Amino acid sequence: MARTKEFEPEEKLIKARDLFWEKGYSGTSMQDLVEAMGLNRGSIYDTFGDKHSLFLQSLSNYAEEILKEYTNVATTVSSPLKAIEQILSGNVKKAFVNGKNSCMSVKCSLELASDDKSVQHIIQLSGCKITKVFEELIIKGQEAGEIKEQDAKMLANFVGTYFSGLWQSYIVTGDKQLIQNQITFLISMIKK
């Protein structure tokens, strides 16, 4: 008879996700995961698979959480331009408050995406979904006269690419004010 799990897998996955987010894939050992998750190796392997599988699940969890947050802002903030600004600024503030100091997807793309097709797939899929959120906001913003009349998909890709670049810049420079200033500049670039 199989033993029932005495822990909530989703809670443990979040602990693993936060550790990978902080230390990166290469910087996180199985022993680090054992300690952070409060599980023995056997329980980790039985529930999540090996370290790489756990990492992929963690990255997917992060991507899903971010998409939910962005979609929530997109549907609750009345001004599409303000919604875009809130998504970008909110993501930055959350990362700084939580001590992560980066976007997990950008951090992982710098570390692994060029060599790891599974990571690349998760990040690309997430990027497409997030771009769609921005595109819908841009279309609404254009209809409301808030956002420049340019190709909405192109503007959405511009916003996403620019924002990813800001995180890469922050990882290198550590300049929080630069990120905030660049978000303000980005909004001014798309504003009508």
Report which of residues 154 and 4 the model is more confident about: 154
Domain presence at residue 30: no
In this predicted structure, the answer to whether residue 1 has a pLDDT above a threshold of 50 is no
Grouping H, G, I as helix, E, B as strand and the rest as coil, residue 29 is coil
Say what the pLDDT of residue 3 is.
Answer: 57
Domain presence at residue 89: yes
Distance of alpha carbon 74 from the chain centroid: 16
Domain presence at residue 134: yes
Quickly state the pLDDT bin for 2 (edges 50, 70, 90): low
Closest CA to 166 of 156, 176, 154: 176
Q: How confident is the model over 47-82, as pLDDT tens digits?
A: 999 999 999 999 999 999 999 999 999 999 999 999
Domain presence at residue 32: no
Let me know: does 126 contact 63? Beta carbons within 8 Å.
yes
Domain presence at residue 23: no
Domain presence at residue 112: yes
Domain presence at residue 8: no
Write the CATH number for 103. 1.10.357.10
2-40 as b/e, with b when 16 or more CB fall inside 10 Å?
eeeeeeeeeebbbbbbbbbbbebbeebeeebbeebbebe
Domain presence at residue 185: yes
In angstroms, the Cα distances linking 171 to 108, 124, 162, 179 are 12, 20, 14, 11
Domain count along the chain = 1
Q: Which domain holds residue 141?
A: 59-190
- Range in 101-115, 122-136, 153-167 the model is least confident about: 101-115
